[in-house]
Amino acid sequence: MTALTDALPLPEPLRQVLAAALEAVDPYLAVKRALETPDPPTQALLAAPRVVVIALGKAAFPMARAAREVLGERIARGVVVTKAGYAPDDALPGFRVHIGGHPVPTEGSVRAAAAIFAALRGLRPEDAVLLLISGGGSALATAPHLPLTLADMQRTTALLLASGAAIEEINAVRKHLDAVKGGGLARAAAPARVVALVLSDVLGDPLDAIASGPAVPDPTTFADAWQVLASRGLTDRLPPAVREWLQRGLRGEVPETPKPGDPLFARVHHRIVGNLALAVEAAAAEARRRGFHTAIATTALQGEAGEIGRGLAAVLQEMARRDRPLPRPACLLLGGETTVTLGETHGLGGRNQELALAAVEALAGLPDVWLISFATDGTDGPTDAAGAVATGETLARARTLGLAPADFLRRHDAYHFWDAVGGLLRTGPTQTNVNDLMLLVTMPPRATA
Amino acid sequence: MTALTDALPLPEPLRQVLAAALEAVDPYLAVKRALETPDPPTQALLAAPRVVVIALGKAAFPMARAAREVLGERIARGVVVTKAGYAPDDALPGFRVHIGGHPVPTEGSVRAAAAIFAALRGLRPEDAVLLLISGGGSALATAPHLPLTLADMQRTTALLLASGAAIEEINAVRKHLDAVKGGGLARAAAPARVVALVLSDVLGDPLDAIASGPAVPDPTTFADAWQVLASRGLTDRLPPAVREWLQRGLRGEVPETPKPGDPLFARVHHRIVGNLALAVEAAAAEARRRGFHTAIATTALQGEAGEIGRGLAAVLQEMARRDRPLPRPACLLLGGETTVTLGETHGLGGRNQELALAAVEALAGLPDVWLISFATDGTDGPTDAAGAVATGETLARARTLGLAPADFLRRHDAYHFWDAVGGLLRTGPTQTNVNDLMLLVTMPPRATA
């Protein structure tokens, strides 16, 4: 079991449940397992004479390390593109490590993309490419089509964000400006076969959204991208080079992104090696082993953190008072990613800390209940905590300190509440990111807890 | 089964599930059952030579009708206090019907309280009083202590509401200004024995909050009431008569409300005959009989309707896609009362319609799923509908009409969405009110649906 959870202020069984969740989506272990229990496309990759490994995303380094351990010298070329602080100083033999920008792409992101394309050059049909994809890849590697510049891309993205465009709309535009995104790496890797092992950081695992789908067909067209901009009145405000590029695309003077059905993708195989469902299922299995009545309520939870926290508190009340939907001891699990809508001024916190804070009043006085909400990447909002845990005693502790949960909720200042009252879950960075996990727990009677 | 649900746009089994919920908390049936299966205090009441029946609340008339059917001529005096339109024109033998104000008390409320006190006058120890209490009673009957006026009470309540005082704080003040509230009827009924049958419209059934607890001890004091006003800087803005009355109370010149432990309450017995948990449990039992896998997630759901709707949609997604937490066919039930925070301008809707609307996008395309949210009183917000039902086909229907759920959500205009697309649940007034019921349903494969 990972040591990450050893110091958490939780009963031992719950520490083990969280440890099981994190272990199930550990990037290193996930790639190791995938290569050691290969499906047929992975078997073909393992049999290839030369393998190029491209690891892109916040978990790129541990994923590449696992590939190195399994493939060893068969790796002809290796590139790791990750975020500053996410790769150790010691080198990984056979790999070049590039640091891209995140959450905003930088010139480092441009150099990283160039290194990826260089590594994919000149491959033959018998060669294989192992793509190791994790969250953050969109910003960490970017290759604006010549003559576009990084500044052009950033300006265009900013215009779209300010206009309230949906993420799918923004991606339709970006995939037509950036040679990495929307299947760009699949095209660059051809004619070699491609196996992409994916650690999903997006609810529901839409492959085209994780790292902007570098090896996934793009159903959107230049016309769609233009329509997104035109419908929001942005075409006249675009950087001139971007407008010119898109207009050339509309006239068919530059190639479209590769589309669904393109024979290119017959040799591309995606495999999800880690996602939120796996983490939730592993946590549930561990809870069941430890004697809890267990159920998974959802792996796609969304909504405003404070309101979801109130709703979950109502369910935990029912578990504590009426032994339903699960009898004590019970562990009801949810996975998802909530949001926090901030006011103009606000304190410090994160969605998981806010969710737990919103549950405090409703749980007050309930015996032996625990409501845990935590981010699997170990970082909830701009704080050093992964989340927080509320119990039936939290409100009483807060009152002895003269603190009112409602005040901290109003200010979106959950961190300072939990820091004072106790209840922050600090794992440190976990190297993985498959969104958030919530546990509603009724413990066994105290004697055995 | 009640005919209220016969015309709902739902599959027959779900109509029956809703009918079972409404029947379980039907005020007439609830009182009938309670008197026909008496607990010992009710047995004593049934054996009393003279019974006075006081029915107070929106469900007062059907509750009194049931009492009349069981007790008949033994009812020495009967008073029904209810809302305009909630009592039929034909008389109930042995009862006087008074119409109070709701949601704002009126002079009719003052006359109604006077009629109640008159009916309770001069009782002996061998007599019994049957109180039939339902929601709305706080406003429907009010007896400002002399020399306070109705206007004094209203002005005080308005000051407290505007100051952001919590409902418990407002009640602490009101119970010290109004002779009905905070145990006032128990005191007036002494030395007779009192059995109060309660239809609860407050989550968790706090007896002191339902109709302001006319036969429940009041733990709060004049000092508490004054403190609530002082802490908000309101004591100088009170109507002079109210300030003077409270100061007399602080000096002990007028009697306190009856307190917990007062021997008075040894002869008072409360019995909840209808509440949200009963409705949810009856619905669950009916669903189980009809072959659904069934669980109750909570009977105390609270939160912003739109966000709770998104959360519930995530659970229904999991049921539809992964057969958990319950395998298809399944019916997961929740009870509670959500809220809608309105902007300055808004359309027409109610919390249940908004909850269902917020689920539409996440449910799109899922086969044979139903998300139902409805108010047990048949009136969701200021509309003629009890709630709404969202399915996997709702979004497609909306799109053919050019309607976007997000637009209607933003304007809090759920009624016009559902009215156009279809999905309003119209039962008409049901005479009961135990808050709201939500059902997440996966239907059997279509052939048998």
Q: What is the pLDDT of residue B90?
A: 74
**Residue A445 in tokens:** 């009677």
Q: Searching chain A, which residue's CA lies closest to the CA of residue B306?
A: A303
Interface test with A, best of B231, B280, B281, B307 (most A CBs within 10 A): B307
Longest dimension (CA), chain B: 75
Residue B438 bridge partners (DSSP): B334, B373
Q: Which of B300, B303, B315 minimises the CB distance to A297? A: B315
Q: What is the pLDDT of residues B320-342, one digit of tens each?
A: 999 999 999 999 999 999 999 98
Q: Would you state the pLDDT for residue A104? A: 86
pLDDT digits (tens, 9 = 90+) for B151-198: 999 999 989 988 888 888 999 999 999 999 999 999 999 999 999 999
3-state DSSP call for residue B326?
Answer: coil
Residues 6+ apart with CB under 8 A from A297: A315, A332, A333, A334, B297, B315, B318, B325
Q: Check B297 against A318: CB less than 8 A apart.
A: yes
Reading chain A (449 residues) residue by residue, the pLDDT tens digits are 456 888 899 999 999 999 999 999 999 999 999 999 999 999 999 999 999 999 999 999 999 999 999 999 999 999 999 999 898 877 899 999 999 998 889 999 999 999 999 999 999 999 999 999 999 999 999 999 999 999 999 999 989 988 888 888 999 999 999 999 999 999 999 999 999 999 999 999 999 999 999 999 999 999 999 999 999 999 999 999 999 999 999 999 999 999 999 999 999 999 999 999 999 999 999 999 999 999 999 999 999 999 999 999 999 999 999 999 999 999 999 999 999 998 887 899 999 999 999 999 999 999 999 999 999 999 999 999 999 999 999 999 999 999 999 999 999 999 999 999 999 999 988 889 999 999 999 998 765 44
**HSE value, Cβ hemisphere, 13 Å, CA-based, for A129:** 32
> For residue B150, which phi and psi values (nearest 5 degrees)?
-55, -40
Residue B211: closest CA among B186, B247, B191: B186
In terms of Cβ atoms closer than 10 Å to its own Cβ (0-12, 13-18, 19+), residue A11 is middle
User: By CA distance, what is B307's nearest residue in A?
Assistant: A303
Contact A296 B336 (CB under 8 A): no
Structure tokens at B51: 């019974």
Q: Residue B447: its pLDDT value, please?
A: 53
For residue A432, the Cα-to-chain-centroid distance in whole angstroms is 8
Residue of A298, A304, A317 lying closest to B315 (CB–CB): A298
Distance between CA B412 and CA B347 in Å, rounded? 5
Mutate one of B280, B292, B293, B301 to test the A interface: name it (highest A CB count within 10 A). Answer: B301
| CB contact residues (below 8 A), chain B span 317-336, against chain A | 317-318, 322, 324-325, 332, 336
Name the stretches of chain B with pLDDT < 50: 1, 448-449
DSSP bridge pairs for B437: B335, B374
Which of A302, A304, A307 has its CB closest to that of B314?
A302
How many beta-carbon pairs under 8 angstroms link A with B? 84
For the CA atoms of chain B, what is the radius of gyration?
A: 23
Q: Please tell me whether the peptide bond between B258 and the residue prior to it is cis, using omega within 30 degrees of 0.
A: no
Q: How far is B106 from chain A (nearest CA, A)?
A: 34
Pairing of strands B330-336, B369-375: unpaired
d(CA A221, CA A325): 48
Helices B27-36 and B60-71, axial angle in degrees (round to 10): 30
| Residue A435: exposure state from Cβ atoms within 10 A (0-12, 13-18, ≥19) | buried
- So what's the pLDDT on residue B225? 97
Which residues neighbour A171 within 8 Å (Cβ) at sequence distance 6 or greater? A181, A182, A208, A209, A212, A220
Q: Is there a contact between A336 and A299 (Cβ–Cβ < 8 Å)?
A: yes
Interface contact flag, A295 B362, Cβ < 8 Å: no
Residue A447 pLDDT? 53
* A391 DSSP β-pair partners: A370
List CB contacts (< 8 A) between A296 and chain B: 318, 322, 324-325
Q: Would you state the pLDDT for residue A11?
A: 95
Tell which residue, B131, B137, B141, B117, has the closest CA to residue B193. B131
Model's pTM, two decimal places?
0.89
Partners of B75 in the β-ladder: B51
Q: What is the pLDDT of residue B228?
A: 95
Q: Are B297 and A315 in contact (CB < 8 Å)?
A: yes
* pLDDT computed for residue B446 by the predictor: 65
